[in-house]
Homo-oligomer: A and B are copies of this chain.
Amino acid sequence: MAPPHGNRLLSRKDIEQFFERGVHTHLPGLCVICAVFGFHDPNLSLLLAKWKGVNLWSLPGGYVLRRESLDAAARRVLYVHTGIRTDHLKQFRTFGGPNRTGAKLRSFYAKLGIRVPADAWPFRRIVTVGYYAFVDSGKIRARTDYMLDVCGWYPVNGRPRLSFNHEQATRLALEALRGRLDAPAAGVSLLPKRFTMPELQHLHEAVLGTRLDRRNFQKRMLEGGRLERLAERRQGGAHRAPYLYRFRSDRPQDDF
């Protein structure tokens, strides 16, 4: 995955350029949003951004270039706003009500002192393709581009209230994520190469929002032989040392 825009996040200049030339470089009337769920044992969080100078929280999102796929747009947009890279973005729904607009953004750009055409397409009706992803929020720190005051991880339960229709989008994305948990090797990419059974269990529990039985969980994970137990145990924690496991790499992993 080549770094888009080099390694920079969006700058003020990028935004000004977008409003000057965006109609040539981007697909008008279309945007993508990314519901990025983060896991850091044992917590499930959501990547949220607060727009600079206004009381506006949302999922990270942005516009689609004329020469890139929607999937690539989701990856790039996530990167240029938050510095986060992932290849595991999946579509969950496209939103296209006639009253969905970016009208709220006008005052945002006004406060930043960025001159924008009053009728630029980002302020008018917009169709939004929703993506979700699941990453390790311990490893991955979010940065903030020029447009944002804050960008970071918030607990899924007890997060700021989101604007646009992102509350609804988040609910749908979480449902989609839950539906993927029974896939073989679900969640592997969020754990270190060698991980313990309790760690894997916490991941599942965080996503499902429920508690699971240790023994039944272990049985389910081991059946099918995708996991391999190592001789070694994880030392250093309090209490009895748990075994380490790793995923057998010879099998295809759909994963998150």
Contacts and interface: CB of A to CB of B under 8 A. Distances in A.
Interface stretch (A65-73, A161-169, A238-246): A65-73
Contacts of A73: 96
Contact of A69 (B30, B93, B97): B97
A188 interface: no
A125 interface: yes
B127 A70 contact: yes
Contacts of A94: 70, 91, 94, 129
Interface string A31-73: 0000000000000000000000000000000001011111101
Interface string A71-84: 10100000000000
A-B pairs with lowest CB-CB distance, top 3: A70-B96, A94-B94, A69-B97
Grouping DSSP codes into helix (H, G, I), strand (E, B) and loop, the A interface class, with mixed when no group exceeds half, is: strand
Interface in A87-137: 91, 93-98, 125, 127, 129
A184 interface: no
Indicate how many identical chains form the complex: 2
A29 interface: yes
A69 B91 contact: no
A27 B27 contact: no
Contacts of A67: 98
A28 interface: yes
Nearest to A96: B70
A98 B125 CA distance: 22
B68 A98 contact: yes
Contacts of A64: 96
Contacts of A71: 96
A96 B127 contact: no
